[in-house]
Amino acid sequence: MSKRDHTDDFFVFEPVTSADSPKIRRELIHNIEGTILMFLQKLNTFTGDGTIGKGGKRRRSSVLVRNIVIKSRVKGSKTSFVLSHRGICRFTRQFVALCQVYSLLIRDRKASKRDLYYEFKKVYMDSQVYLDNAISKICRFYHKPRHCFNVTSTSRGFAQGSLILTSEAGAEINFKPYPVAIGSELTHFNNVNMMADVILVVEKDTVFKRLVDDGIFDVIPNVLLVTGRGFPDICTRTFLRWLMDQNPVYLFGLVDCDPYGLSIYSTYKYGAVRSEIEANGCKLTEILLIGLFMDEVVQMNLADVHKLRITAHDKRRLQKIQNIAKIKKDDMLYEQARQMIEAGFKVELEALASKEPDFLLQKLILPKLRPYI
């Protein structure tokens, strides 16, 4: 799974509450209709008559004589839809997605991104990334989070540990026996039995599985283990935000000692501009990083085979992280990025197994979590 960059500049977005949903639905329907009308009016204005001859016959056609720019009229939005000769495919995808979400709002029904993608798979060029980009653009254009458009998504994240959720109908989800996929429906459970003293968020699925196999729930019984399996999706971050609002506990993050690890931690803590509106301004400012730190790596004297060279791309990412740290006045994050640039190498958590099989759990995690459990 590729790791994408979600660490651009940040801005303030006021989250939308569920109590506003009916009003927002009506507002969005009205605004989308206004956007379509505006497009049709501009299309009529900015097209000219062309003449095409074929087989001695002549017919009239509409020719785009200049770009059509549709600016958002929503307060706080600076996004525009642009129809140009070079961007006609992108514009088509955006407007098809707009028609899809309009249909959902009119019928007051929900659909996953996957459902929307398969409905017009060819339009999205057999890649859901194009739909994802279109939905994100729509969220920014109307300055509303994705759930306001009745669009859901399946989560990559998993959680396991001391947590039981119960619905009004009596349905129960016990996170103790096995990992539970983190979907948006989990936040609709009204009874939260949080027995965990701490939540530990790990970067990767491999580390998650390794800790389970090493017996983390025997060593630390009252823990909830969570992974976003790389860059955290909106479902995982929203679930964690909801849990912390329901039952505030200690929240810790464990990531690789590399630029992507710091980017992932930053995304959990501060969010990301590309998904700020789509994610309804979700941030986890309480999260504390417990590793893997560069000074720890240096003390471990790992073999050179585990030390991967910092590339030019890595360095640019680290510099971007330093900029974020400056904006947020996060000295720890800035220092970790600085040390990594200075060291010139990076290390993944899996490398700690070369020290001892259970080194990660027993020597790195347990000493740091012991004061909180």
Residues 140 and 162 in one domain: no
- Tell me: do 325 and 290 sit in the same domain: yes
Same domain, yes or no: 285 and 250: yes
**Least confident among 95-109, 162-176, 272-286:** 272-286
Predicted TM-score (pTM) of the model is 0.82
Angle at 130 between CA 236 and CA 95, to 5 degrees: 110
Q: What is the CATH number of the domain that holds 347?
A: 3.40.1360.10
Say how many domains are in the chain: 2
Q: Is residue 49 part of a domain?
A: no
Token pair belonging to 86: 């070079």
Residues 215, 108, single domain; the answer is: no
Q: Are residues 101 and 186 in the same domain?
A: no
Domain boundary at 151, 167, 187, which?
151
* pLDDT (average), residues 26-44: 93
User: Does residue 164 have a pLDDT over 70?
Assistant: yes
- Positions annotated as catalytic residues are 118
Q: Each residue of 47-58: pLDDT tens digit? A: 555 443 444 454
* Domain end point (choices 151, 168, 198): 151
> What CA–CA distance (Å, rounded) separates 249 from 197?
6
Q: How far apart are CA 232 and CA 210, in angstroms?
A: 19
Same domain, residue pair 291 and 322: yes
pLDDT of residue 2: 42
Asked whether residue 137 falls in the same domain as residue 162, the answer is: no
Shared-domain flag, residues 214 and 280: yes
Identify the band that residue 221 occupies on the pLDDT scale cut at 50, 70 and 90. very high
Containing structural domain, residue 81: 10-43+64-151
- Residue bearing the bigger pLDDT, 160 or 61: 160
The reply to whether 53 falls in a domain is no
The answer, yes or no, to whether residue 144 has pLDDT greater than 70, is yes
Residues 316 and 272 placed together within one structural domain of the fold: yes
Final residue belonging to a domain, choices 100, 123, 151: 151
Q: How far is CA 135 from CA 73, 98, 144, in A?
A: 18, 8, 11
Reduce the DSSP state of residue 173 to 3 states and report it: strand
**Claim to verify: residue 26 and residue 116 sit in the same structural domain:** yes
